[in-house]
Structure 1
Amino acid sequence: MSVAEFHPIHGVLLLDKPLGLSSSQALQRVRRMLAAAKGGHTGALDPCATGMLPLCFGEATKLAGVLLGERKVYHAVCRLGQVTSTDDVEGIVIRECPLPSLDDASIDALLQEFVGRISQVPPIYSALKQQGQPLYRRARRGEAVRAPQRQVEVHALRLLQRHEDRLTLEVECGAGFYVRALARDLGERLGCGAHLAALRRLWVAPFQGQSMIGLDTLEQMLLRDGREALWAR
C-alpha cells in the first residue's frame, strides 16, 4: 500500500491482541486494515501475552502518553519451580527447584507484601534502555546486564487459583510494572523460583468494562461493513 492510499482516521480501538504477535506487529496489521495514516499503541504487551491493547489513530495519538500512565488489570499464571532466562515462558529454563509446602493463607500473606509502592528490578529482556540501547539487545549479545531498580505501584493483588505448580493471580498495577518480574520475585520469596507462564490484560483505564475486538473479527467487519461501521460500535 502506497503512502497516498492511507487516510486520516481518528479514534481509539480496543484490540484484543492475540498470542504470538508483538504490540508493534498488531498495530501495523490494524493500521493496514484501516489504511490509517497515523497510529500508535499505549503500552506494549509481550508476544506471549494477550488482551486489551488500546490503539490510537490520528488526533487520538495525543492520548497515548496519558494512557501509558493509567491503571491496568491482568490475569497472570505463574509457574513455580522453574526459572527462565526471560522470566516468562519464552525463555530457556535455567534452574529447576522442588516446590515447598504451600497453602492459600501463606500465599495471600506474601502477595500483600507486594501491594503498594514497591521497588522492582525489571527483567533484563525488556525494552528499557541503558547506554542508549534496549536491555534485551545487550542481553542477547551476552553482555552482563543489570536493570536499574525502579519504584512501581501495585494497587491490588490476589490469588484466584492454586493448582499443582501454577498460581493464577489478578494484578492491578500502575505504569512501568512488569508482571514477569512479579512472578520471578514471588518465586524467589517462596524459595523455588518461578516464571510467568501466561498473561492476559483485562483492561486499561479508563476502558474498564468496554468490549475489545479481535483481529479476525475486525477483518471480517471491515470486509462486510466498511470502516464507518467500526467507529459506530
Structure 2
Amino acid sequence: MDKREERLTRAVYQIGAERGRRRVAPPNPFSEGMIVSVDKPIGWTSFDLVNLFRRLACTELNLKRLKVGHAGTLDPLATGVVVLCTGRFTKRIEELQDHDKCYEATIRLGATTPSFDLEHSIDAFYPYDHLTEAEIRTALLSYEGEIDQVPPAYSAAKIGGERAYMIARRGDEVELPAKRVRFDRIELLSYEPPLARVRVTGGKGIFIRALARDLGEQLGCGAHLTRLRRTRVGDRSVEECIRPEDFVPFIRQTLDAYASVHQTDLRAWRDRIVAEGGE
C-alpha cells in the first residue's frame, strides 16, 4: 500500500457517520469477527481485558460500540491465555469454551487458605514432611479421567443467578454442587517441599484450585495454589498471545492489513457516506 492509499484508508475510520442514533461502521475486521488470544497479566480480570480491548478498538475505529466477549474466565491471580471474540465471532464463544485447556501450577502442601490460592491468607498449617514424590504423583494420577469436582466458594460459579464469590465475600455460607469435569493428564513436574509443580490438561469447567484442595485433603496435609498459568486453549498457545500493552499496535496493524486487501470496499463506503453528508 503506497502512502497516498494508506492515508486514504486511515481516514475512512475517522469519518464517524451517523444515522439517527446509530453510527454506521466502515467495513472492518473487528465488527466482521476476530478471535484474539491475550496473555492475561496477574491482577487483571478477564473482563478487564474485554473492556480495555473494546475501548481501544472503538477509539481506533471511531465507533460508539463493538461487541467483545471472552471464551472462559481466568482467576485474577492467574496469568495466561484468555481468548477474546469480537463482532460476529462473539457467537462462537460457547464453541471456544468447550476447547481443552492446559495449565502449569505450583501447589503448596501443608497449608490451606479459604480461597485455595493466595487471594486469602493461610488459615491453617499441617505436617507434610512424611510425603514422598511418589505418593504425590500417585495421588495426582487418581484425578485423571472424569470426576465430580466441587467448585471453590470463591469462584465465578453461580448460585441463584449470583456469583459464588460475592456470597462468600459477604461471609455467607456457599454450597455448590459437584460438577462432572474431565482431566486428561496431570503431570508432576517437580517437588521441592513444600512446593509441587504440576502440568494439567483437561476439558471445560475444571478448577485447578479445587484440584489443589482435593489433593491436600487426600494426602492429609492441606494445600493451596501459589501460582497458576494457563498455557493453552485449544490450539492457541501462550507464546502466540499478545499482551494488553500490545492492543493498540495490534489493532492498527490489523486495520492496515485489512485495508490493503479491501481497498475497493473502503473507498466505496467512504464515497457513499460523504455523498450522503456523513463526513
TM-score (norm. length: structure 2): 0.76
The 5 Å alignment of 1:52-67 reads 52-67=81-96
- SS across alignment from 1:169: strand
Q: 1:33 aligns with which of 45, 49, 56?
A: 56
Letter in 2 for 1:74: Y
Q: Distance in 2 between matches of 1:230 and 1:52?
A: 25
Structure 2 CA distance for aligned equivalents of residues 167 and 72 of structure 1: 20
Shift in alpha-carbon separation, 1:81–1:211, aligned structure 2, 3 A: same
Letter of the aligned partner of 2:186 in structure 1?
L
Alignment of 1:69-80 (within 5 A): 69-80=98-109
Q: Distance in 1 between matches of 2:102 and 2:24?
A: 37
| Among candidates 108, 127, 130, match of residue 137 of structure 2 | 108
Alpha-carbon distance in 1 for matches of 2:126, 2:259? 51
CA distance change for structure 1 residues 29 and 220 in 2, over 3 Å: closer, same or farther?
same
Structure that is richer in helix per residue: 2
Query: Distance between the aligned counterparts of 1:5 and 1:49, measured in 2?
Result: 38
Q: Secondary structure at the match of 1:189?
A: helix
- The answer to whether the aligner puts 1:203 opposite 2:243 as a matched pair is no
Residue 45 of structure 2 aligns with which residue? 22
Give the match for residue 123 of structure 1: 152
Q: Offset of 1:9 from its aligned partner? A: 5.0
34-43 vs 196-205, which moves further = 34-43
Structure 1: runs of 5+ lacking an equivalent: none
Give the 3 Å change call, closer, same or farther, for CA 207–48 of structure 1 in structure 2.
Answer: same
Distance in 1 between residues matched to 2:132 and 2:43, nearest whole Å: 33
| TM-score, structure 1 as length reference | 0.90
Residue 136 of structure 1, aligned match among 165, 174, 177: 165
Secondary structure at the aligned position of 1:93 is classed as: coil
Structure 2 gaps, min length 5: 1-21, 59-64, 261-279
Distance 2:56 2:102 in 1: 28
Name the Cα RMSD after superposition: 2.4
* Number of matched pairs: 230
CA distance in 2, matches of 1:84, 1:214: 30
* Cα offset, 1:104, TM superposition: 2.2
Q: Report the CA distance shift for 1:141/1:109 in structure 2 as closer, same or farther (over 3 A).
A: same
Moved more, 202-211 or 142-151: 202-211
Q: Are positions 1:145 and 2:168 aligned together?
A: no
Asked if the contact 2:32–2:89 (Cα under 8 Å) also holds between the matched residues in 1, the reply is: no
Q: Which has the higher strand share?
A: 1
What per-residue deviation string (whole Å, max 9, x for no partner) do you get for residues 40-74 of structure 1?
A: 00000011011111100011111100111110000
- Residue 179 (structure 1) aligns with: 208
Residues 82/227 of structure 1: CA separation in 2 closer, same or farther (3 Å cut)? farther
Q: Which has the greater radius of gyration?
A: 2
Retained in 2: the 8 A contact 1:100–1:191?
no
Q: 1:53 to 1:33 in 2, by over 3 A?
A: same
* Shift in alpha-carbon separation, 1:101–1:32, aligned structure 2, 3 A: same
Call closer, same or farther: CA 1:209–1:121 in 2, change over 3 Å.
Answer: closer
Paired with 1:133 and 1:96, the residues of 2 have a C-alpha distance of: 32
